[in-house]
Structure 1
Amino acid sequence: MRHKIKFFFKVYRGGIFVIFTALITGCVNSSLVPKQQPTPATTERFSPQTNSASHPPSCQTEQLSVRKVSTNAGAGNVAIIYAFTNKSSLPCNLYGYPGFELLDSKNQPLKGVKVIRSSSPYSAKQQSLQQVTLAPNGQASFDIAYNHIRDVGQSCPTSVKIEITPPNAYHHFTLPETINACTGKVRVRPVQPGIIQ
C-alpha cells in the first residue's frame, strides 16, 4: 500500500500550531476485501479423501478389529501377539505403542500390575517405532510379555479381561484374557507391520 502525506505548518508567536492534513491515496488494503470462495473443483482437490491416499490419518478404533494371534511360553516368560486389521475401505496409519490394560472381574484396572513400554521384552530382538500404513484388510501387530512363575505361597495378580487401545486413538477393545503377571509387570512393544514372527 502506498500513501502520500502532506504536512502544513503555521507558526505563531508563543507557540506552534500544527495543522496536519493527510491525503491518502493508493490501493485499498487487500485484507479488507472478502476472499473469493473456492470453486467445487478446488474443494475436491483438497478433500480429505484425496489427502488420505498420500497421507493417511491415524487409524481410529472404529476402523479396526483386533485378535490374539498366538501365545508362546518359555523359561517362565509368556509372550502374546495381537493383531490389528483395517476393516474400513480407506487406508490409515498406526504409530507407536498401543494402550494395554489388565482388568479384574468387575472391569476395573487390575491392582498390583504395571504396564511398561519396552522395545525388547525378554527378547534380544528390538523393535523400533515406525509408522505402519494399513491398507484396507491390512494387518499390523504387537506383542506383550510377562513372567508367570510364582514364589511359594505367592498369589499372582490375574486378569479376567484386557483393554487394547490402538496408538493415538481414544476408544478401546475389550477381550477376555487371563494373564498371571506374577512379577507385577507386563511389557508391551510398539506396533509393527504385518504379523510378528
Structure 2
Amino acid sequence: MPTDNADAPTPCWSDQIAVTASPTQAAVGHRAATLVFSLAGGAEPCTLTGYPGVDSGSGGPLVHAQPTLRGYMGGLPGGNEVPPTVVLSLSTQAQAVVEGLAVDANGSPCPTYTDLLVNPPDTTVVLTVPATIDACALQVHPVTPV
C-alpha cells in the first residue's frame, strides 16, 4: 500500500535554520566546536543531510574545513559510512563537529579564530557564527541528531 508523504518534511531552506556553536572542547592538541542547527522561529519542520560548508572567520588566514566522516573529536561512529538525514523541528536539532589541531607541524600555536562562516547543508546562505577555536587546519563532520 503506498504511503502518503504529503506531510513529510522537505529539505531545509536557508531561512528555516538558525545556527549556534558550543564552547570549544580540547583534547591532546585537538580543538573542536559543535555547530547546532535549530529550526528558526515560525518555520515548518525540515531536513538536513550531509556536510555544512565551514570556513574560518576572524582571527587568522582563511581556512576551508575539509568534509570528513569522522575524526579525533567527533563525526559518524565507525561502520556508518552514510550521513543520516536529520529532521529539524521544535523538539529536534542537528549538530556537526568542526575540529582541528591546535599546533602546527613545528609545534607552534595556531591562530585563534573568533567566528566561523557556516553554510548549512544544501542551502545558499553563509552565516557568521560566534565560535572561538584555535586551529591551523579544520575538518567538518556530517550533521547528526543531537
The 1:149/1:170 distance shift into structure 2, 3 A limit, reads: same
TM-score (norm 2): 0.78
Equivalent runs, 1:1-197 vs 2, <5 Å: 51=6, 53-54=7-8, 56-87=9-40, 88-104=42-58, 110-111=61-62, 113-123=63-73, 125-126=77-78, 128-150=82-104, 151=106, 154=108, 156-182=110-136, 185-193=137-145, 195=146
RMSD of Structure 2 on Structure 1 (CA): 2.5
The 1:119/1:110 distance shift into structure 2, 3 A limit, reads: same
Q: Distance in 2 between matches of 1:164 and 1:57?
A: 21
Give, in angstroms, the shift of residue 122 of structure 1. Answer: 0.9
Q: Distance in 2 between matches of 1:159 and 1:190?
A: 21
TM-score (norm 1): 0.60
The count of corresponding residues between Structure 1 and Structure 2 is: 136
Q: Distance in 1 between matches of 2:139 and 2:25?
A: 14
Larger RCO (CA within 8 A; separation ≥ 6): 2
Unaligned runs of 5+ in 1: 1-49
Greater Rg by CA: 1
Q: Indicate the percent of aligned positions where both proteins have the same amino acid.
A: 27
Q: Which has the higher helix share?
A: 1
Unaligned runs of 5+ in 2: none
Give, in angstroms, the shift of residue 137 of structure 1. Answer: 4.3
